[in-house]
Amino acid sequence: MAAPTCARAPALPAARGPLSEAVRALLLAAPVASAGRPVPPVDGDPWGEDHQLALYTCYELHYRGFAGVDPDLEWHPELLALRRALEGPVLAELRAATRPVPPLAELLDGLLIEPHRGTGLSHFLLAEGTRAQAREYLVHRSLYHLKEADPQAWAIPRLPAAAKAAFVAIEFDEYGAGRPERLHATLFAEMMADFGLDPAYGHYVDVAAAPAFAVVNLMSMFGLHRALRGALVGQFATVEITSSPGSARLAAAFERLGAGPAGTRFHREHVEADAVHEQLVRHGVIRALLAAEPELAADVAFGVAATGVVEERLSEHLLGCWRAGKSSLRGGAGLA
């Protein structure tokens, strides 16, 4: 029996500072009452808890929204202006962190190289991770994987025909190839349930840490801006090219930690599917896109590099906490 993701809109998350509180206030006020409400200056740490949560909350209006929040607020001018103000510093940080961006061909070739002695999250969880740490990993990843492939779908109407056809072929697999029980989001929900976690969409937002928000915020930002469509293709390519080896390690790690078939199916699916997707995204999507719009090569390269930045920040956060004997979740309390 599948453990489907919850179809209901999640609760509005608790604020973590003045920016996320300002977003909450705008969302909870009546549309007329929210007009002209003052918002605090956006001048804090773009990677911080408050900034990343505020941006995530704005973006979620374009997905499932929140319980008790008027759907019309998705296009509220003041919220869009605040979202834009939040995006600017994050994009500036990403550009600074990736400068100079190597040539695209060099970046793509580098993604194919598996380090002889890997030190990332999948290596750690396979070699020495605990079940509690695996559960925390799933909580952080649930921000994206319970809506897997949705941010990338924004690219579809923005791609030329040949790139679009290849892109949609990959997305078709992500959405279960026409079988709702095979949606990758559904498989992730089943994996969460196998680990004793609540698979409801947005259930763990209040305990997830800023680096986890940054990973999914990057996808949403690239997806919601046509000007960043090349960067979104770069993000998409990074995941599809690198997924198979890491997924194989995670499947083995979770099996070692007592997962049943439902607890490893998600990653085993990615071992097989993404081995094919790697070729399709390189030779179908990227090649076709650049044949039609060669000027986007630098943007695709930026998307690859920026994805590496946010993924590395999440890895450093989780591994730093675990090696210090602490929970990686907000507040450090861990899960019940």
Residue 81 resides in a domain:
yes
Given this model, what pLDDT does residue 32 score?
46
Q: Which of 122, 257, 276 is nearest to 191 (CA)?
A: 257
Per-residue pLDDT reduced to its tens digit, 137-189: 999 999 999 999 999 999 999 999 999 999 999 999 999 999 999 999 999 99
Considering the domain boundaries, does residue 3 fall inside one?
no
Helix (H, G, I), strand (E, B) or coil at 130: coil
**One domain for residues 212 and 286:** yes
Residue 38 and residue 29 in contact, taking contact as beta carbons nearer than 8 Å? no
Residues 91 and 137 in one domain: no
Tell whether 2 is covered by a domain.
no
Q: What range does the domain containing 87 cover?
A: 18-95
Residue 233: which of 203, 270, 277 has the closest Cα? 277
What's the pLDDT tens digit per position in 249-290? 999 999 999 999 999 999 999 887 767 788 899 999 999 999
Q: What's the average model confidence in pLDDT over 206-215?
A: 98
- pLDDT band at 3, cuts 50/70/90? very low
Q: In sequence order, what are the residues at sequence separation of 6 or more whose Cβ sits closer than 8 angstroms to the Cβ of residue 264?
A: 191, 251, 254, 255
pLDDT at 43: 86
Residues 235 and 151 in one domain: yes
Domain count within the chain: 2
Does residue 226 fall inside a structural domain? yes
- Same domain? 155 vs 293: yes
* 208 lies in the same domain as 289: yes
Portion of the chain with pLDDT greater than 70, in percent: 93
Could you tell me if residue 50 is inside a domain? yes
CA 99 to chain centre: 22
The pLDDT of residue 37 is: 60
Q: Which residue, 66, 95, 124, sits at the end of a domain?
A: 95
Q: Is the domain of 76 the same as that of 124?
A: no
In this prediction, residue 4 carries a pLDDT of 47
Q: Does one domain contain both 82 and 147?
A: no
Amino acid at 283: H
The answer as to whether 6 is a domain residue is no
